[in-house]
C-alpha cells in the first residue's frame, strides 16, 4: 500500500490552487468537491477537476477526489464527471454504515468496466465523521476489498456528539483510538484529523508526532506549508531506521541458530520488538527513504 503521510485538500473550484497542489510534493493531493467548494460552484468544480486530472502533472503525488456525500444527492454525478480524468482514488465523506461503502464500490466497479483492457483499479478511502460511523467501523472496514484507508473527520464528529474542540484533544481521543485499532485489524491505513491553524507549525508538529505514536499512517492537511512538517513526523528517523535494521539483522542471525529472544545492548528483543522494527522499515520503504529491497 502506498505512503499517505499527508493528504492535501484543495478546492476543486480553484484552478490556481490545484496547479500549485500538483507541484507540492504531498503524498496525496485530494481535489475537493465537498466542504472546500461553495454550493453554487459545485457543478463547475466537476469540470475543473476533470481538466486538472487530465492536464496537470502531479509528479509522484497520488491523485484523489473527494465527492459529496450520498445524502446530498450529488455523488453519482460527481463520480461520473471526475472519472473521465482517471483519478487514482475516490474519497467518500460522511460514511455512516457499510451499505454506503458497498454502494460506492459497485459504482466504481462498474466504472472500471468502461475502460478497455482492464488494469485500472480505483482506490477507495472513506471519511468517518459521526458517532454512528464510529459505532459501525468494523462493518465499514470489511465492506470492500478496494478500501485502503479510513480518515477521521473530527469537526463533524464533534458536532454529532455535542462536544467542543479543546487544546488537549481528549474529546476526540476515543474516536481516534477506535479508528486506529479497527483499521489495523483489517490491514487498512488510518488518517488523522486536520489541524486548521496552518500558521503555527509547532502545534502541527506536536499533533503529528502524537498521531504517529498512536498508530496513524498519516494526516489530513489544508495548506502546502503543512506538508513538510507532517511528512517528516510520519517518516521514521535515521536513528529509528538504523536501529530497526540492526534488530532485523540480529533476529535473522539468531533465528538461524534456533534462538528466539536475545539481548541487543541493554535491550531485550523478542517477537513484538522484531515486528515493530519490520514495521518501521516498511514505512521507510513506502516513504522512499530506503530502497524496496
152 beta partners: 128
Instruction: Give the integer Cα–Cα distance in Å for 165 and 246.
Output: 42
259 beta partners: none
Residues ≥6 apart with Cβ < 8 Å to 293? none
The catalytically annotated residue of 27, 35, 200, 270 is 270
Instruction: Give the integer Cα–Cα distance in Å for 167 and 31.
Output: 29
**Residue 191: strand, helix, or coil:** strand
Active site residue 192: no
Instruction: Give the integer Cα–Cα distance in Å for 87 and 79.
Output: 10
Cell 467542543, residue?
164
**Residue 183: strand, helix, or coil:** helix
Residues ≥6 apart with Cβ < 8 Å to 206? none
User: Which residues participate in catalysis according to the annotation?
Assistant: 270
Amino acid at each position: 500500500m502506498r505512503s499517505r503521510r499527508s493528504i492535501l485538500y484543495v478546492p476543486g473550484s480553484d484552478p490556481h490552487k490545484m496547479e500549485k497542489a500538483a507541484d507540492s510534493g504531498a503524498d496525496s493531493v485530494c481535489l475537493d468537491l465537498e466542504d472546500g467548494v461553495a454550493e453554487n460552484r459545485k457543478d463547475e468544480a466537476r469540470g475543473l477537476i476533470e481538466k486538472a486530472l487530465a492536464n496537470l502533472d502531479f509528479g509522484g503525488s497520488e491523485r484523489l477526489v473527494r465527492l459529496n456525500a450520498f445524502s446530498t444527492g450529488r455523488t453519482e454525478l460527481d463520480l461520473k464527471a471526475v472519472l473521465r480524468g482517471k483519478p487514482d482514488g475516490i474519497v467518500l465523506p460522511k460514511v455512516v454504515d457499510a451499505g454506503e461503502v458497498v454502494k460506492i464500490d459497485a459504482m466504481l466497479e462498474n466504472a472500471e468496466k468502461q475502460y478497455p483492457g482492464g488494469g485500472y483499479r480505483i482506490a477507495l478511502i472513506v471519511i468517518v465523521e459521526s458517532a454512528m460511523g464510529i459505532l459501525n467501523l468494523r462493518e465499514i472496514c470489511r465492506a470492500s476489498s478496494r478500501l485502503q484507508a479510513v480518515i477521521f473527520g473530527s469537526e463533524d464528529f464533534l458536532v454529532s456528539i455535542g462536544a467542543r474542540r479543546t487544546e488537549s484533544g481528549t474529546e476526540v481521543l476515543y474516536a481516534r483510538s477506535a479508528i486506529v485499532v479497527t483499521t489495523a485489524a483489517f490491514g487498512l491505513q488510518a488518517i488523522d484529523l486536520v489541524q486548521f491553524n496552518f500558521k503555527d507549525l509547532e502545534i502541527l508538529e506536536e499533533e503529528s508526532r502524537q498521531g504517529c505514536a498512536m498508530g496513524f499512517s498519516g494526516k489530513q492537511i489544508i495548506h502546502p506549508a503543512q506538508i513538510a512538517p507532517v511528512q517528516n513526523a510520519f517518516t521514521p528517523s535515521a536513528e529509528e531506521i538504523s536501529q530497526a535494521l540492526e534488530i532485523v539483522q540480529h533476529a535473522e542471525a539468531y533465528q538461524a541458530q534456533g534462538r528466539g529472544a536475545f539481548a541487543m545492548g541493554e535491550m531485550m528483543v523478542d517477537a513484538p520488538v522484531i515486528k515493530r522494527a519490520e514495521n518501521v522499515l516498511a514505512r521507510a520503504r513506502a516513504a522512499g527513504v530506503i530502497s524496496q529491497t
